[in-house]
Amino acid sequence: MLNFDEKVDLSLDSVLLIYREDEKRDGKRPNRLNRPIMMGQSMVDEATAAGNTTPAITIHEHIVEIVSDSGEGAQKAGQTFGAVSARMGNGVWTVEIIPAEIQPPARSPAGASGIRIRLASKYVTNMGDEADLVVAFNEQVLYSRIANGAYKEGTVVLLESKWRDDPVEEIRAQYAKAVMEFRANGLVVHELPIELACLELTSSPRKGKNMFVLGMLCHIFSRDADTARAQIADTFRRKSDEVIALNIRLFDSGMAFARDHLALHFHIPPHPDQGGRWIVTNGNQAVGLGVMASGMELVSMYPITPATSASHYLADVFHQVGGFVHQAEDEIAAIGFALGASFSGKTACTITSGPGLALKTESLALAVMAEIPLVLAVVQRGGPSTGLPTKVEQGDLLAALYGEPGDAPKVVIAAATIAECLHFVILARRLAEAFRTPVLLLTDANLATGVQPYPRPEPSAEWLAPPVDQSTWDEEVPPYAWDERTGLSPRPIPGMRGGEYVLTGLAHTEQSKVAYDSDSNQRGCNLRSRKLAALAGTLKPPKVHGDESGDLLVVGWGSTVGAIEEAIDRARAQDHKVSSLHLRFLSPMEPGLKEIFGRFRMVMTVEINYSDDPDAPLITDDTRRYAQLAWLLRAHTLVDVDCWSVVYGHPLQPGMIHRVLLKHLDALEAIH
Amino acid sequence: MFGLTADWSHEIFERYFTLGDYAGGEARWCPGCGDHGVLTAVHKVLRDEQVVPEMTVAVSGIGCSSRLPHYMGTFGFHGLHGRALPVACGIKSRRPELDVWVATGDGDCFSIGTAHWIHAIRYNMDMTMMVFDNAIYGLTKAQTSPTSPTGMHTNTHPFGAILDPLDPLTVTLGVTNVSFVAQVVDWSPPLLYEVLKAAHRHKGLGFVRIVQRCPVYANNYVKDLLGHPDRILLLEHENGIPIDNSVARQFRNHRSHDPSDISAATDLARDQSVIPVGLLYHNPNAPCYEELSSRGSDMTVEQKLAGMNAALDTFTI
């Protein structure tokens, strides 16, 4: 990680800076260099050079960022680049860098907007550690990325150079100071006249330079130009032919620019073919696809970041499967509307984030009490309160389990991957109906905006909700004909002759009659709780990643699976006896945990939510507050589960977790 | 003979519904409460319109009036305080064939559920909405409601309610896509019946404000009206509520009012010196949200799978 406190003396790099200073000042279009300078000859893989002046170097992984002011299209360029790379067979993970404001002030560190794309010759499950290559549309936005530890010594920065000649003296000074600082601290900065080059093709380069940059990246990483052009056409399919043509011209120009002026040229071989067809989506699109594949016909929502893009996607395509997105007047109405549809026999879905979950608690408790199937997807962001709307946190776990006053047992599952965002919605709908309960599906901002290729599901009629049952109800069967062992009961649906009952949020008998007597209330609570035990009985113990026993077991949940397992693999490669397991079911808890934990000397969770650092001021064994999963596991297993968690607002990275593992192993060694 | 087939008459007699088919548990409202009369009128409308009981859903929030579903023999949903309308709209969204009745009160609808009231008017889904307005919170024992008259003594305002009451009619009439606004008093059972029947027949949201008695906590509210029958103004029109002789005799003040005239309706609502009863506004042609929200309900499994695959195609590499 780049650290500005350590002054590294690095002479101004001239290795890859090709653009002639005099031409740039004259404002002329840069000419092709006669002699592109290569990186270390030993690294060149001659076989992959595809007729370009600079042969491509074969590498197996690279992390690229495009960072800009808001509205400069960095994310569109990055998503397109990621999709092209996925089409060419690379493992890909992209994650968006999103400011909270729509149009934050230009050239401000806080306004940094952009995208990170991690490419590899293997399946990629997380954003990785420091970036290798950055394209920056101004120098100021890089400061926030540096503060986030996104770069390292040697990270190559392709920086828009127009600010050097800006009419405003302050901007010129800022730019010069930044470039000097970046270089002094180890970034390899190449100043490039990107906008100037775009001016050849468009009068508004601010809008078009993202495709130019896409062209540059596609050259640098030897992407197939036709695949990229097809992807651009798809990206702009709603726009006119002229717009598509212009963007393709900008792309071509960017490719040529990189070919002519940059000696950066890599080849990342495809990862071994996994067979079958793959799709590339982000996690919110996956949730939307899951809703469609589950046969649910209604999503009732209220706008909230970062959940809403799932509904945007559905609003676009839901009609293809006969579905409808209802934008309600508020979060409470959104879940109320969904509950109405579910009650009427059409199990519905509502999608929200933290503050929306808080507003929905009373309705959620009603769904538990009155046993109404419902799918509630929660795309977690930083909290509490409005918190960090665009940034990731796993802070809603306890709220999901225990947010309601009174005892409200319900199913809570968490997707760990983007593919699971899709499949778990289908699972959630089935569980909700089978167990007559709300099911909370937790995802997070990392999954929501992350993009990854995964096997294309084959939609099945069995995934769809069955038609609404309108047969005659046996009047001998009460509306809550609880099975004394499982708490399960069949559900009368409006339209079923003889099934008439009045659903109520008040304590009730199995006839759904309001009952305030002790026995009825105790019985209702017992049976609603036993449903979870019945479900738990169908689950298998979780699979351990790594050896089944050892020194340290890391337990995680949600979007951190990729980073945790990558860190575990690194530590295991260093002969450390570490393993991990990742929970998908949080309520009921997956079985067998205590037994698995018993096979390790130490168990700890790694999470993105708050916990007290045991070494922090005032913190003692008595006062220390644990991370949320750790809290649950300690209560559930009576094992002294430790934890490490941070609320930086960004996804966990394998390097970070690896360091934590080593520290805990050291501590364990000291005890030994 | 007379064009009637034996089968047709057989079907009618097999499923002829009586008042008992719509009745649930014994109503447990206080003696003298206006809610009893509304419940009776609802049962009669359902019987006279021969609405199929299992196709009927009574939805309510929380409060005295919201106990109504428990006294119905139909399906019912007794949910959360203020949230009857979102639930009712959700039921209607994908099952538009269900006959939905909403029972709510002045606190439930005009206070905690205000947002849903405004937006339900705008959605204009085809259902009957009854606001039992007794100007007091009854179930929680005598707190000021949005419609409590200034000076009314309550447990939250023992020295008298301090704000002017909210006027539900002007608010409702001011909302985009409003399609049916009626007002009635609970002490005129024939008019109550006719108003609810008209609201039920209306295609769209039939909004009915029922000014009614709470003999325990707000008796004076109604007593004042009973003592000043001149304050009640009966609206008459050929497109309005049918009025029989008993109703015409009960209310001495009559005025002709064309329910298609929203300006005249608003003027009537704004006139705080009278309580208009009958149909204030009616637009039978306002669009209903379920016409949009229920689209695609009839799709086959094959069509759905094809639609799903088309969606996946756009992401396939």
Residue B175, domain extent: 10-288
Any chain A CB within 8 A of the CB of B124?
A: no
Closest CA to A90 of A62, A114, A113, A129: A62
Closest CA to A451 of A62, A85, A144, A24: A85
Strands A151-160 and A585-587, bridge-based pairing: unpaired
Residue B222 above 90 pLDDT? Answer: no
DSSP annotation of A612: -
Question: Is there a contact between A511 and A501 (Cβ–Cβ < 8 Å)?
Answer: yes
Measured distance CA(B63)–CA(B135) in Å, rounded: 12
Any chain A CB within 8 A of the CB of B254?
A: no
| Average pLDDT of span B70-80 | 98
Encode pLDDT of A507-557 as tens digits: 999 999 999 999 999 999 999 999 999 999 999 999 999 999 999 999 999
**Which residues in chain A are contacts of B88 at CB distance < 8 A?**
340
Measured distance CA(A230)–CA(A248) in Å, rounded: 9
Encode pLDDT of A594-653 as tens digits: 999 999 999 999 999 999 999 999 999 999 999 999 999 999 999 999 999 999 998 999
Of the listed ranges A41-50, A420-429, A570-579, A648-657, the one predicted with least confidence: A41-50
Per-residue b/e over A2-27, b at no fewer than 16 CB within 10 Å? Answer: beeeeeeeeeeeeebbbbeeeebeee
Encode pLDDT of A5-21 as tens digits: 433 332 223 222 333 33
Q: Residue A456: which of B57, B92, B316 has the nearest Cβ?
A: B316
Tokens of residue B38, six digits: 């509304």
Count structural domains, chain B. Answer: 1
E-strand spans in A98-178? 113-120, 131-136, 151-160
Q: Which of 77-116 (B) contact A at CB < 8 A?
A: 77-80, 83, 85-95, 97-98, 115-116
| Average pLDDT of span B54-65 | 98
Tokens of residue A494, six digits: 């409006």
Taking each helix axis as running N to C, give the angle between helix B301-313 and helix A283-294, from 0 to 180 degrees, rounded to the nearest 10: 170
Is B193 within the bounds of a domain?
A: yes
CATH number of domain containing B103: 3.40.50.970
Tokens of residue B263, six digits: 């300006």
Residue A30 above 90 pLDDT? Answer: no
Outline which parts of chain A fall under CATH 3.40.50.920.
Answer: 544-671
Name the minimum distance, in Å, from the CA of B75 to any CA of chain A: 5
Give the DSSP letter string of A420-487.
Answer: HHHHHHHHHHHHHHHHTSEEEEEEEHHHHH-EEEEEPP---GGGSPPPPP-SPP-TTS-TT---TTT-
Outline which parts of chain A fall under CATH 3.40.50.970.
Answer: 279-463
Give the DSSP letter string of A516-534.
Answer: -SHHHHHHHHHHHHHHHHH
Task: Give the pLDDT band (50/70/90) at residue B120.
Answer: very high
Amino acid A122: pLDDT: 92
Q: Which fold has domain A51-267?
A: Pyruvate-ferredoxin Oxidoreductase; domain 3 (3.40.920)
Q: Which residues pair with A114 in a beta bridge?
A: A67, A97
Largest CA distance in chain A: 92
What stretches of A236-353 show up as alpha helix (H) in DSSP? 241-261, 283-294, 308-317, 331-343
Is B314 within the bounds of a domain?
A: no
Task: Give the pLDDT band (50/70/90) at residue A274.
Answer: low
Q: Which of 319-348 (A) contact B at CB < 8 A?
A: 319-324, 326, 328-330, 332-346, 348
pLDDT, chain B, mean: 94
Mutate which of B26, B312, B314 to test chain A, going by most A C-beta atoms within 10 A?
Answer: B312
Quote helix, strand, coil % in chain A, to nearest 5.
40, 20, 40
What dihedral do alpha carbons A467, A473, A474, A479 form, nearest 10°? 100
Where do we find the tokens 């087939």? B5
Any chain B CB within 8 A of the CB of A91?
A: no
Amino acid B8: pLDDT: 52
Amino acid A506: pLDDT: 97
Name the minimum distance, in Å, from the CA of A29 to any CA of chain B: 37
Number of C-beta neighbours around residue A569 at 10 A: 16
Q: How far is CA A541 from CA A360, A420, A585, in A?
A: 32, 18, 10
Measured distance CA(A124)–CA(A130) in Å, rounded: 15
Residue B57 above 90 pLDDT? Answer: yes
Residue B134 above 50 pLDDT? Answer: yes
Encode pLDDT of A276-308 as tens digits: 899 999 999 999 999 999 999 999 999 999 999
DSSP annotation of A385: T
- Which residues lie closer than 8 Å to B303 by C-beta, 6 or more apart? A321, A322
Encode pLDDT of A435-487 as tens digits: 999 999 999 999 999 989 999 999 999 999 999 999 999 999 999 999 999 99
Encode pLDDT of B137-159 as tens digits: 999 999 999 999 999 999 999 99
Encode pLDDT of B23-54 as tens digits: 998 999 999 999 999 999 999 999 999 999 99
Amino acid A42: pLDDT: 29
Question: Is there a contact between A444 and A381 (Cβ–Cβ < 8 Å)?
Answer: yes
Q: Which of 23-52 (B) contact A at CB < 8 A?
A: 24-25
Is B312 within the bounds of a domain?
A: no
Burial-class residue B300 by CB neighbours within 10 Å (0-12, 13-18, 19+).
Answer: exposed
Residue A1 above 60 pLDDT? Answer: no
Amino acid B224: pLDDT: 81
**Which residues in chain A are contacts of B77 at CB distance < 8 A?**
340, 343, 502-503
Strands B127-133 and B205-211, bridge-based pairing: parallel
Q: Is the dihedral of CA A643, A648, A651, A654 positive or negative?
A: negative
Question: Is there a contact between A587 and A411 (Cβ–Cβ < 8 Å)?
Answer: yes
Question: Is there a contact between A508 and A481 (Cβ–Cβ < 8 Å)?
Answer: no
| Average pLDDT of span A208-224 | 96
Of the listed ranges A18-27, A53-62, A116-125, A201-210, the one predicted with least confidence: A18-27
Chain A residue nearest residue B25, CA to CA: A513
Element (DSSP H or E) covering residue B57: strand B56-60
Chain B residue nearest residue A295, CA to CA: B304
Contact B53 A341 (CB under 8 A): no
Amino acid A371: pLDDT: 98
Taking each helix axis as running N to C, give the angle between helix A418-435 and helix A283-294, from 0 to 180 degrees, rounded to the nearest 10: 40
Question: For A335, what's the count of Cα atoms within 13 Å in the CB-facing half-sphere?
Answer: 29
Cα B81–Cα B87–Cα B90 angle in degrees, nearest 5:
165
Burial-class residue B244 by CB neighbours within 10 Å (0-12, 13-18, 19+).
Answer: exposed
- Which residues lie closer than 8 Å to B72 by C-beta, 6 or more apart? A502, B22, B23, B24, B42, B43, B56, B58
Q: How many CB pairs under 8 A join A and B?
A: 203
Element (DSSP H or E) covering residue A125: none
Q: Top-level CATH class of A279-463? A: alpha beta
Number of C-beta neighbours around residue A448 at 10 A: 30
Is B310 within the bounds of a domain?
A: no
Q: Which fold has domain A544-671?
A: Rossmann fold (3.40.50)
Tokens of residue A7, six digits: 């002054």
